[in-house]
């Protein structure tokens, strides 16, 4: 499913009208009806006192349509209109008249206070004050109205996007509605999934409004759902053997940081890599040996951490692997930085670079574009800040564009972890993940993700697909863990649920 910016959602409406000849009023009718019909399974409209709060834009127009359908569903309805009615477009004006002709009361208010008696009595509030047309900071009476909506006990359903939320960033423009449900119309918008917009949005429902899918085929940002992931997962047929499912080599760990390497290895095991090896340092290897009988642990060198002079032997060893991962727990010694540089500049197959591997890449100023391998970088915001020189807040402000710009410029796959994780592809497109939960904000989750993505690449997927499938699967395993333990499940608990998550994805058609 596409994920749109303000400009793209406007473009989509424009394409619908100019290229397909769909009148604005038809789209608005579909939109207003969808809000009520999508909510039918979540609320009982029968007898519910429903206040529809309309602004003077097309979002308000949708609201006038919803008023009719809510009444049709048995609700007692009332419309509150705030703003200068002369600003209303033709379709919105028409639907206001229609509603009034059907006997639906429309109360024009100048001050928020005038709406108080209705709003506090409401069972359901439909928020149609401001949609994607939000122009600047919300102040004065509209801000006060939003604050009252947020103060009521009513079930709040936002039309298209919670009023006051900035479509492109998910930040409130001063203040924004805290919805229980939001019905996204025609497309899901960036603000619905970017924090804190995801919290204002409440439960996100989507409804098409009649615009053909072809109209948005070339849009560059997509939300990842099960339907997108299932076709990418390789099917294991009866005659599959371990040699067919790839060999992943994980260069990880150092003295005192053996756990990170084991967690990456564990991720690979449960994600179905054919064979997994951990290659670590002399001091770390004995501690890792035998922890997972399925993982081959070997060492290069005798010391506590990787050094530049080990790179040659490591590259020789790496010839046996289809994919390598470098980084978890390797530490930040100067020598280790040089080791990573040599590895990344010389390995010719797929490389996943994570954690201290990313630190090394930033320190050594590796020129990713001139590296011979296919790179997948998996930074969290802090690591990405170091790589780009941007601050963490600058990245959060434009999480999607920051990821896609970087991957396009450096021709690699970038997994910018967090809520939500964004995957930038070398061609400038990007994916936004929909799985995962705050219970995953615990040490070692990222190491496991590295193993999962590595396992996918080893099983023959392209770097882009490996990242998409790995991130989605890892998040889904987290969601399965959170079903019983919202916070406090271990990385190991998540890893053990990876096979179940995988089965859930592939069994979708049954
Ligand atoms: N286009 C289409 O074909 C279709 C569009 N559709 C729907 O239309 C929505 C987009 O409609 P839009 O572009 O008319 O703007 P919209 O979201 O109603 O906002 C304008 C209103 O907000 C107000 N306002 C703005 N900023 C403000 C601020 N800072 N502080 C205070 N007020 C502010 C502004 O006030 P004004 O400036 O006029 O005083 C005006 O009242 C879209 O989200 C979807 O729901 C569907 O029907 C399908 C077909
Ligand atoms: N609030 C959250 N919602 C969804 N996913 C999250 C959240 N917090 C963390 N995660 C996920 O957990 C993992 C944490 O990785 P990372 O920050 O590298 O941790 P570590 O370095 O401890 O391994 C990432 O995949 C990230 O997307
Ligand atoms: K709204």
3-state secondary structure of 196: coil
Instruction: Give 2's DSSP letter.
Output: B
For the Cβ of 56 lying below 6 angstroms from any atom of ligand 1, the answer is yes
| 315 pLDDT higher than 80 | yes
Residues with CB under 5 A from ligand 3 (ion): 59, 127, 131, 158-159, 163
| 242 pLDDT higher than 80 | no
d(CA 100, CA 97): 5
3-state secondary structure of 88: coil
d(CA 81, CA 96): 10
What digits encode the pLDDT tens for the residues 249-297?
A: 999 999 999 999 999 999 999 999 999 999 999 999 999 999 999 999 9
Among all ligands shown, which has an atom nearest to the Cα of 27? 1
Among all ligands shown, which has an atom nearest to the Cα of 494? 2
Q: Is the distance from CB of 340 to CB of 314 less than 8 angstroms?
A: no
State the burial class of residue 188 (Cβ atoms within 10 Å of its Cβ: 0-12, 13-18, 19+).
buried
Judging by DSSP bridges, how do beta strands 413-416 and 422-424 pair with one another? antiparallel
Sign of the alpha-carbon dihedral angle for 194, 199, 203, 206: negative
Q: How far is the CA of 72 from the centre of ligand 3 (A)?
A: 21
Of the listed ranges 119-128, 211-220, 338-347, the least confidently predicted one is: 211-220
Instruction: Give 231's DSSP letter.
Output: G
243-254 average pLDDT score? 92
| 509 pLDDT higher than 60 | no
What digits encode the pLDDT tens for the residues 111-122?
A: 999 999 999 999
What digits encode the pLDDT tens for the residues 349-383?
A: 999 999 999 999 999 999 999 999 999 999 999 99
User: Around Cβ 300, how many Cβ atoms within 10 Å?
Assistant: 22
For the Cβ of 27 lying below 6 angstroms from any atom of ligand 1, the answer is yes
Residue 510: pLDDT band (50, 70, 90) is very low
- The pLDDT, as a whole number, for residue 244 is 77
The half-sphere exposure of 368 on its side-chain side, counting CA atoms within 13 A, is 24
Q: How far is the CA of 55 from the centre of ligand 2 (A)?
A: 39
> What separation in angstroms does the CA of 501 have from each of 173, 207, 467, 470, 492?
38, 27, 16, 11, 14
d(CA 478, CA 223): 18
What digits encode the pLDDT tens for the residues 151-204?
A: 999 999 999 999 999 999 999 999 999 999 999 999 999 999 999 999 999 999
Residue 507: pLDDT band (50, 70, 90) is confident
Q: Is the distance from CB of 408 to CB of 424 less than 8 angstroms?
A: yes
Residue 318: pLDDT band (50, 70, 90) is very high
484 is in an annotated binding site: no
Q: Is the distance from CB of 191 to CB of 170 less than 8 angstroms?
A: yes
Beta strand spans in 274-397 (E): 275-281, 296-300, 323-326, 350-353, 374-377
Q: How far is the CA of 252 from the centre of ligand 1 (A)?
A: 52
268 is in an annotated binding site: no
Rounded to the nearest 5 percent, the helix, strand and coil shares of the chain are 45, 15, 35
Beta strand spans in 105-233 (E): 106-109, 124-128, 155-159, 181-185, 188-189, 203-207, 221-224
**Burial letters for 266-281: b for 16+ Cβ neighbours within 10 Å, e otherwise?**
bbbbbbbbbbbbbbbb
Beta-bridge partner residues of 377? 353, 414
- The pLDDT, as a whole number, for residue 508 is 56
Among all ligands shown, which has an atom nearest to the Cα of 129? 3
d(CA 242, CA 228): 26
32-59 average pLDDT score? 98
- The pLDDT, as a whole number, for residue 298 is 97
List the residue whose alpha carbon is closest to atom 47 of ligand 1. 28
d(CA 182, CA 205): 6
Q: What is the pTM of this model?
A: 0.94
For the Cβ of 66 lying below 6 angstroms from any atom of ligand 1, the answer is no
Q: How far apart are the first and last CA of the chain?
A: 22
Q: What angle do CA 297, 298, 301 make, to 5 degrees?
A: 145
What digits encode the pLDDT tens for the residues 70-106?
A: 999 999 999 999 999 999 999 999 999 999 999 999 9
Ligand 1 atom nearest to CA at 129 = 22
Q: How far is the CA of 178 from the centre of ligand 1 (A)?
A: 18
In the structure, which protein residues have their CB atom closer than 6 angstroms to any atom of ligand 2?
380, 417-419, 421, 436-438, 440-441, 443-447, 449, 474
Beta strand spans in 282-427 (E): 296-300, 323-326, 350-353, 374-377, 413-416, 422-424
421 is in an annotated binding site: yes
> What separation in angstroms does the CA of 187 have from each of 125, 184, 196, 482?
22, 6, 19, 28
What digits encode the pLDDT tens for the residues 392-437?
A: 999 998 999 999 999 999 999 999 999 999 999 999 999 999 999 9
Residue 245: pLDDT band (50, 70, 90) is confident
Q: What is the mean pLDDT of the chain?
A: 96
What digits encode the pLDDT tens for the residues 430-484?
A: 999 999 999 999 999 999 999 999 999 999 999 999 999 999 999 999 999 999 9
d(CA 353, CA 279): 15
d(CA 157, CA 127): 6
| Structure tokens that stand for 91 in this block | 């379709």
Phi-psi region at 74: left, alpha or beta (left = phi > 0; alpha = psi -120 to 50)? left
- The pLDDT, as a whole number, for residue 110 is 96
List the residue whose alpha carbon is closest to atom 45 of ligand 1. 59
473-496 average pLDDT score? 97
Ligand 2 atom nearest to CA at 491 = 23
What ipTM goes with this model? 0.94
Q: Is the distance from CB of 355 to CB of 253 less than 8 angstroms?
A: no
Q: How far is the CA of 125 from the centre of ligand 1 (A)?
A: 18
240-244 average pLDDT score? 72
For the Cβ of 92 lying below 6 angstroms from any atom of ligand 1, the answer is no
């Amino acid at each position: 499913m596409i994920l749109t910016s303000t400009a793209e959602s406007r473009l989509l409406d424009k394409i619908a009208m100019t290229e397909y000849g769909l009148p604005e009023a038809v789209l608005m009718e579909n939109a207003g009806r969808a809000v009520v019909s999508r909510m039918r399974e979540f609320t009982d409209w029968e007898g519910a006192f429903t206040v529809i709060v309309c602004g003077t834009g097309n979002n308000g127009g949708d609201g006038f349509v919803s008023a009719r359908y809510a009444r049709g569903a048995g609700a007692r309805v009332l419309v509150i209109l705030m703003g200068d009615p002369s600003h209303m477009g033709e379709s919105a004006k028409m639907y206001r008249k229609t509603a009034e002709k059907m006997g639906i009361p429309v109360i024009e208010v100048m001050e928020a206070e005038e709406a108080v008696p209705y709003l506090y009595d409401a069972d359901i509030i439909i928020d149609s004050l401001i949609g994607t047309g939000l122009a600047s900071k919300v102040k004065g009476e509209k801000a006060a109205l939003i604050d009252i909506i947020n103060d009521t006990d009513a079930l709040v359903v936002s039309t298209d996007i919670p009023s006051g939320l900035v479509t492109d960033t998910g930040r409130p423009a001063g203040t924004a509605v805290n919805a229980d449900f939001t019905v996204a119309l025609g497309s899901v918008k960036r603000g619905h999934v970017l924090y804190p917009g995801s919290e204002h949005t409440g439960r996100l429902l989507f409804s098409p409004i009649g615009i053909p899918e072809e109209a948005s085929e070339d849009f560059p940002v997509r939300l990842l759902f099960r339907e997108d992931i299932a076709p990418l997962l390789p099917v294991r047929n009866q005659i599959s053997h371990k040699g067919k499912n790839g060999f992943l080599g994980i260069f990880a760990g150092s003295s005192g940081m053996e756990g990170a390497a084991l967690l990456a290895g564990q991720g690979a095991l449960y994600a179905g890599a054919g064979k997994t090896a951990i290659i670590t340092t002399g001091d770390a290897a004995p501690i890792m040996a035998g922890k997972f009988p399925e993982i081959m642990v070997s060492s290069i060198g005798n010391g506590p951490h990787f050094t530049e002079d080990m790179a040659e032997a490591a590259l020789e060893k790496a010839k046996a692997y289809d994919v390598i991962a470098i980084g978890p727990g390797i530490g930040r010694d100067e020598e280790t930085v040089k080791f990573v540089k040599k590895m990344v500049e010389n390995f010719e197959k797929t490389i996943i670079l994570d954690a201290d591997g990313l630190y090394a890449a930033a320190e050594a100023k590796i020129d990713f574009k001139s590296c011979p391998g296919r790179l997948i970088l998996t930074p969290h915001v802090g690591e990405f800040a170091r790589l780009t020189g941007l601050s963490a807040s600058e990245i959060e402000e434009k999480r999607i564009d920051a990821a896609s710009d970087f991957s396009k410029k450096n021709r690699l796959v970038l997994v910018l972890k967090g809520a939500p994780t964004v995957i930038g592809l070398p061609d400038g497109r990007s994916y936004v993940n929909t799985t995962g939960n705050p219970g995953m904000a615990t040490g070692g989750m990222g190491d496991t993700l590295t193993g999962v993505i590595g396992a996918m690449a080893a099983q023959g997927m392209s770097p882009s697909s490996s990242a998409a499938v790995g991130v989605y699967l890892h998040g889904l395993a987290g969601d399965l863990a959170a079903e019983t333990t919202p916070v406090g499940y271990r990385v190991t608990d998540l890893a053990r649920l990876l096979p179940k998550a995988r089965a859930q994805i592939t069994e979708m058609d049954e």
